Structure 1
């Protein structure tokens, strides 16, 4: 027997029209230089809908963006999926080879690009023959534009367009909610990038997950600042979540300078912000220079947040950086950290340990850990380490135009490549990436745990630990460390600092001091670059 509910599909069109009907007065501020209302932004999105029609962009076509976090990018976030096209956000830090591969593999029909970024992509234009139009977004730069008929101006197109006046939702009334809405490619660190193809259903459910009380809990009263780039896995769901909740949005534009970000947070009274740990680290010197008392929730993701960094924020603002875990394949948020009611009687040290865990899964997300060799599901005892696998309605079940059966189990769970534990409360604690574990003398060393204890030294800004080939032990750990300006800490002092915290055979054979650590295109530390440098020496 089936229920008798209306079969209305879950679509991004609903997010757009809900914001338009209920929260038209709410504001979108960009980089401290522009302020529009939701009504303005959605009016532009309605004009963009007819622009896409006039450019003869087919339904289901991939429409790419190569842009920073701005209100124009937000308009594209809305109009493209609401008109049954597929939004393809491209990492602006990609190498030329990966960029060309992704645009060609996705078969992008139109690319929207910030004016200041066009020069980065234009040398590849002759190898991207499927792209019919390049639409340039004003970003405050005065970069000269090539004389090419394929180049169009965003503002000129919007100004000359007649807005779509119908209901986007009604166009979906009889449509399948599993229509593709977005496309995002993985980083490609272990092979060619793979495309994760989101659906309207998965995006709306993920959006509702960001509203879940007690987790991120986006609300109408919030002022949300996605520092995480729009191209990084849906900006962790923050743009759509803010629109759904009716929260105001603050978008940083193209600058990631700590002073710029902190000034914006102060001026706009930001309550919720999300960024990778390297950004939160860069903002530490700004904490005493700005009034950030409006902040209630800071989200960290992309890589593990060092407990010492989180506690620095808790001491300065009363708000720790909350751990999360996710992947491009998980839309991306699957787990949110923080303490719960059962921790009210815990000691201060015990609560620090809880906050250092990745946390509990969002509603509708299921986690399990399995023995790497046997595939047997492991007990949730907080100590059994196995591969983390995840399932849920916003978790990928395959990749776009790529066979990757080894990424999924026979019963449909995603293999994450993370080693982790789960405890009796369902808390996830990552041990390491399977590829980042160091096997020394037949025993495993967790690079993540070793990094955390090194980062507990007050003079350490960043650290990455990798395994270096060793003729006797197979591998030995090497720590690459960035110190605070003016620090005179030596390698010997760092090793003495961590000696009481880890087994002696975990102690790094070498500490290498660096001015900066290499990063991936999404701002994560690039251990593969460090490994390459070791192999080349």
Structure 2
């Protein structure tokens, strides 16, 4: 017996056509380099994405060939998100915050053929272009200035496509997008997404128990479009018809708050380091901005301190903890309280909100340690492993031992899972501290330290110790004009943790080094303090 259902292919063409026909009047707002705002609609997005597809086909783009992008969040970048894959190509976002040697390697390893570049990022691209095989480069030169030799105007290129162009029929298992992760050892590794995986992920994150995106939303992706496809927000917004607000290059807290105020944003998405600065501005000037009363933030990329969740709630902003990885398309968990938790006291509720949450639909999870699969008891630790239709089964042309023999992907995150299925990340396997044979979670200590009113940021790393093998060192950034002494911090931590968990070493620094994705770069701290002199 066979089903009587249509063999309907899940592709980005379907989402693009839907947005162009149903949401013609809904705005997409982009902040330009000069802070002026460009406004156009999903009708414009459809027309221009189709023009891009046609132009790429006329330029000779073959199925599966890669088109690199090096751009801030903007309408043109959004056009590449749809125009490239709907022409049977693969859009490949380049993270311009990486070192030029990494960017060169990534562009060559992906075998990028064409590239679409922001004018203000052209100097960065020019540094690597000569060492790549990229044939043609199209520049979104909004200033109208003459481009250097060998570079073409994006707007002129759009006009070269066939006027009667029709989108080709796509196979849902064909590749549509590519992103390299720098969160691995060795060279960055590429993840290739299929149309099917992206569409299923898009449906999943629009559900009310995940990110709950809808046509009532004004969505501002602060997470860059070069970082794990902006967590899928461009596709979700197009599917449901949410107004989009693109911040462009203006990522400082005041600019983001101004934009959120002026456009009455209802949902903003980004990593904790962004929200730290925004919360400090709100605390400093609580009446300066009249933000939408329904504003919620979705925070992921690294663990969010409970103190930050409490801080945003004090300003009337719902803050939702999420977790994912480039290899997962990327959303893996989203933390919402369940109805029976409404009766809990506030401390218990905030403690639960600070967890990464239960797995999203179509994401299976388990955690493994040396004894096998762990119990879901909220205390036993193990490495989180995942599988599902939106999870990668390998890297692009690269070997890796991250996949188990029975097909699960090892995330490298050490977690506990409670009886309700809520996941709490204790650490990355490489960041766990083993002191005297016992494990210490750097994330738990960091979150407690960042709850102190004088501390802006805190990172805890393992430092070699002559007696205990390793001991934790806390690197701390203070809020402007405030101070705190190590003895006060020790006393605070002893109220929450066993004595052997509490750091004896504290360093007060101006800034914690960060990765290109805005996460704490703990490897740099470990290297800096590896020769730490311990007092007897």
TM over 0.5: yes
Deviations 1:455-502 (A, max 9, x none): 110111111000001111101100011111001222222222222111
User: Secondary structure of the residue that 1:102 maps to in structure 2?
Assistant: helix
Equivalence for 1:310: 309
Contact 1:417 1:434 (8 Å CA) reproduced: yes
User: Secondary structure of the residue that 1:486 maps to in structure 2?
Assistant: coil
Q: Distance in 1 between matches of 2:527 and 2:70?
A: 28
2:143 aligned with 1:147, yes or no? no
Equivalence for 1:391: 387
Equivalence for 2:15: 15
Q: Distance in 2 between matches of 1:230 and 1:511?
A: 36
Following superposition, the deviation at residue 140 of structure 1 comes to 5.1
2:137 aligned with 1:134, yes or no? yes
2:448 aligned with 1:445, yes or no? no
Equivalence for 1:65: 69
1:420 to 400, 415, 423: 415
2:243 aligned with 1:244, yes or no? no
Deviations 1:46-83 (A, max 9, x none): 11111102221211101110110000000111101111
User: Secondary structure of the residue that 1:56 maps to in structure 2?
Assistant: coil
Q: Distance in 2 between matches of 1:464 and 1:282?
A: 16
The 5 A counterparts of 1:363-402 are 363-371=361-369, 373-374=370-371, 376-402=372-398
The 5 A counterparts of 1:114-513 are 114-128=118-132, 130-138=133-141, 145-148=147-150, 151-163=151-163, 165-166=165-166, 168=167, 171-172=168-169, 175-287=170-282, 288=286, 289-319=288-318, 321-371=319-369, 373-374=370-371, 376-404=372-400, 406-513=401-508
Following superposition, the deviation at residue 160 of structure 1 comes to 5.0
1:163/1:505 CA distance change after superposition, 3 Å: farther
Deviations 1:425-456 (A, max 9, x none): 11111111111110111111100111111111
The alignment of Structure 1 onto Structure 2 pairs a total of residues equal to 524
Contact 2:293 2:316 (8 Å CA) reproduced: no
Following superposition, the deviation at residue 138 of structure 1 comes to 2.7
TM-score (norm 1): 0.95
Contact 2:57 2:161 (8 Å CA) reproduced: no
Unmatched 5+ stretches in structure 2: none
User: Secondary structure of the residue that 1:51 maps to in structure 2?
Assistant: helix
Following superposition, the deviation at residue 141 of structure 1 comes to 9.2
Following superposition, the deviation at residue 176 of structure 1 comes to 2.6
User: Secondary structure of the residue that 2:373 maps to in structure 1?
Assistant: coil
Following superposition, the deviation at residue 147 of structure 1 comes to 2.1
Deviations 1:157-188 (A, max 9, x none): 2245444543x3xx32xx43110011100115
User: Secondary structure of the residue that 1:134 maps to in structure 2?
Assistant: strand
RMSD (CA atoms): 1.5
1:526/1:141 CA distance change after superposition, 3 Å: farther
Q: Distance in 2 between matches of 1:88 and 1:415?
A: 24
Stretch deviating more after TM superposition (483-492 or 87-96): 483-492
Contact 1:323 1:337 (8 Å CA) reproduced: yes
Q: Distance in 2 between matches of 1:235 and 1:361?
A: 19
